[in-house]
Structure 1
Amino acid sequence: MHFVKFYEEDFSLSILKTFVLVAVIKQCHNGHTLCSTCKTRVHNRCPTCRQELGDIRCLALEKIAESLELPCRYISLGCPEIFPYYSKLKHEAICNFRPYNCPYAGSDCSAVGDIPYLVAHLRDDHRVDMHSGCTFNHRYVKSNPTEVENATWMLTVFHCFGQYFCLHFEAFQLGMSPVYMAFLRFMGDERETPNYSYSLEVGGNGRKLTYEGSPRSIRDSHKKVRDSHDGLIIYRNMALFFSGVDKKELKLRVTGRIWKEQQNPDGEVCIPNMCT
């Protein structure tokens, strides 16, 4: 139960910090307090004296909650901010230090953590291929190209410029049309994504398709990026044309590179910094 709880923390100013877990505080006729969420869970009976609960608010404690300044819940992850209670809740929803969700798209993985943890998690638990360098050559082969199932995916992690990037390649239905799609996600905050760009290319039989853009942050879910079509999309007929004349087996090779945008000191024009 989320009862109102007080305890003392030894901060640099040695002041009393009070952590209130809910904003609306109820009390029974005997003065026992509990949160509005717990009021529902205990079926409108005070868990202390078993008296029936009405709808009495403890305004005094709510005023205390409003006046308190509390550290961000992600202080252990590096966030130095302190906020009034209500501002704290809004900040935590968008805090740059909040943990990341696992970017693996092949399961409903509930793992969360910082980037080093997720890199190890992808490598050890999902057996994702790890590569160093800023160029890639991704090969996709399918023995029966007439079938395209939703949620057919592959994932590779690349390490360059001291950062990690996830290359997704998958097959799914876009309306009534089976398509293949490749896109890159940045393992970091969305504020950093404009610092990087990438290109993708697929082709064959003297033809090619190219895509260029900035990677999306893993703050955006895999499904959100895929459904926005923000990547290289290859329709099945074109994919079969790239694969060869017999069309009995799908053979696609997606190549690409990642580069870092650098600010030109003489102006605001970005110039690419290639990784070697």
Structure 2
Amino acid sequence: MESDSIECVSSIDEIVEDHEILHHNIQHHPHPRHAPHHQFSSSKPHHNGTNNVNSISNIVGPTAIAPAASVHELLECPVCTNSMYPPIHQCHNGHTLCSTCKIRVHNRCPTCRQELSDIRCLALEKVAESLELPCKYYKLGCPEIFPYYSKLKHEGICIYRPYNCPYAGSECSVVGDIPFLVAHLRDDHKVDMHTGCTFNHRYVKSNPREVENATWMLTVFHCFGQYFCLHFEAFQLGMAPVYMAFIRFMGDETEARNYSYSLEVGANGRKLIWEGTPRSIRDSHRKVRDSHDGLIIQRNMALFFSGGDRKELKLRVTGRIWKEQQNPDANMCIPN
């Protein structure tokens, strides 16, 4: 199979002559060392093997804001190091672990190797109810403090939590803040970087029928002090082969709503235009694709736009990004 060819140009005021870029097979690259990576990491647990609740109550009262480190350690599962939530299990010697890890260790205490029964550590669960803890992303800027049993729910939606790598087409496990991920995309995934709010890409494929399910991240754009990712997909929509282009915003959903973008393809007196709001990279590229939230071009129409004998795909996608004057309604509906 011949390699795909992408031509691209990005400029602020106008689209100028484009240049070709060859896209090779997608591969996972090692974690970069030179870029700053702002990410919360919890300390390793140090379990003392006892559950002396009287000593705990002497350290932390029911209105404590910053509990002592020993309380944090007692509430960390010794197997997965995550905070424990009811039911908290214990062995006959008083060693505790979470309900998930009780199954993982085949019902044997990881500390003393004694067989675990169904004993609940009710005292430790009561202590947890009295605690108020900072969000685990406080080092990334989150100022919030929550009751112990509310903290986990918040952390799942905290706007300060790290982002997953937005690179499409691979299972990249890298996480971090936006500056780190931009450097990671440039250096490890070799994604094209452009400054400007307009763009012009041409996707060329000598035999488009060879590609039935593929995805590419074409470019990362820097404009208005933010970063945007342009994606291009080839997949089956029902029985029809289609192409889809869309943009994701490298930031949170609430920030993404401040921007809009347009995409256009056309030739031979016909054109298709899409206008929308970029989706946050909190939504995976697959979720955006499956929601059809972008410019969709059926293959027959794409070949018509390509001209010639309609056997070779030469699809030019142009577009621009702009900033809205006012924030859209906070209750704006986003496709699932």
Q: Which amino acid counterpart does residue 137 of structure 1 have in structure 2?
A: N
Matches within 5 A, 1:153-172: 153-172=216-235
1:27 Cα shift? 2.3
Asked if the contact 1:2/1:35 (under 8 Å) is kept, the reply is no
Asked if the contact 2:162/2:175 (under 8 Å) is kept, the reply is yes
Which residue of the partner structure matches residue 219 of structure 1?
Answer: 282
Which residue of the partner structure matches residue 251 of structure 2?
Answer: 188
Structure 1: stretches of 5+ with no match in the other structure? 270-276
1:22 aligns with 2:84: yes
Asked if the contact 1:139/1:254 (under 8 Å) is kept, the reply is yes
Q: Which amino acid counterpart does residue 208 of structure 1 have in structure 2?
A: K
Structure 2 CA distance for partners of 1:209 and 1:76, relative to 1, 3 Å: same
Structure 2 CA distance for partners of 1:39 and 1:237, relative to 1, 3 Å: closer
Please, which of 65, 71, 94 is the counterpart of residue 31 of structure 1?
Answer: 94
Secondary structure of the structure 2 residue equivalent to 1:94: coil
Q: Which amino acid counterpart does residue 258 of structure 1 have in structure 2?
A: I
Which residue of the partner structure matches residue 123 of structure 1?
Answer: 186
Q: 2:112, 2:47 → 1: CA distance?
A: 17
Once the two structures are superposed, what CA deviation does each residue of 1:66-112 show, in whole Å capped at 9, x if it has no partner? 11111111111111111111110000000000111111112111111
Structure 2 CA distance for partners of 1:85 and 1:99, relative to 1, 3 Å: same
1:30 Cα shift? 3.6
Report the TM-score when normalising by structure 1: 0.87
Which residue of the partner structure matches residue 209 of structure 2?
Answer: 146
Which residue of the partner structure matches residue 272 of structure 1?
Answer: none
Structure 2 CA distance for partners of 1:49 and 1:118, relative to 1, 3 Å: closer
Which residue of the partner structure matches residue 74 of structure 1?
Answer: 137
Deviates more, 1:31-40 or 1:119-128: 31-40
Deviates more, 1:54-63 or 1:25-34: 25-34
Q: 1:232, 1:14 → 2: CA distance?
A: 50
Report the TM-score when normalising by structure 2: 0.72
Once the two structures are superposed, what CA deviation does each residue of 1:30-60 show, in whole Å capped at 9, x if it has no partner? 4333333343344333445544322111111
1:172 Cα shift? 1.5
Matches within 5 A, 1:175-254: 175-254=238-317
Q: 1:232, 1:167 → 2: CA distance?
A: 12
Q: 1:47, 1:231 → 2: CA distance?
A: 50
Q: Which amino acid counterpart does residue 104 of structure 1 have in structure 2?
A: Y
Structure 2 CA distance for partners of 1:164 and 1:49, relative to 1, 3 Å: closer
Q: 1:48, 1:165 → 2: CA distance?
A: 48
Matches within 5 A, 1:57-136: 57-136=120-199
Structure 2: stretches of 5+ with no match in the other structure? 1-43, 60-64, 76-82, 330-336
Once the two structures are superposed, what CA deviation does each residue of 1:163-191 show, in whole Å capped at 9, x if it has no partner? 00000012111121111111000000001
Task: Give the structure, 1 or 2, with the largest relative contact order (CA under 8 Å, sep 6 or more).
Answer: 2
Structure 2 CA distance for partners of 1:179 and 1:248, relative to 1, 3 Å: same
Deviates more, 1:230-239 or 1:19-28: 19-28
Q: Which amino acid counterpart does residue 70 of structure 1 have in structure 2?
A: L
Which residue of the partner structure matches residue 274 of structure 1?
Answer: none
Q: Which amino acid counterpart does residue 261 of structure 1 have in structure 2?
A: E
Structure 2 CA distance for partners of 1:59 and 1:152, relative to 1, 3 Å: closer
Asked if the contact 1:44/1:54 (under 8 Å) is kept, the reply is yes
Q: Which amino acid counterpart does residue 22 of structure 1 have in structure 2?
A: M
Asked if the contact 1:2/1:38 (under 8 Å) is kept, the reply is no
Deviates more, 1:214-223 or 1:142-151: 142-151
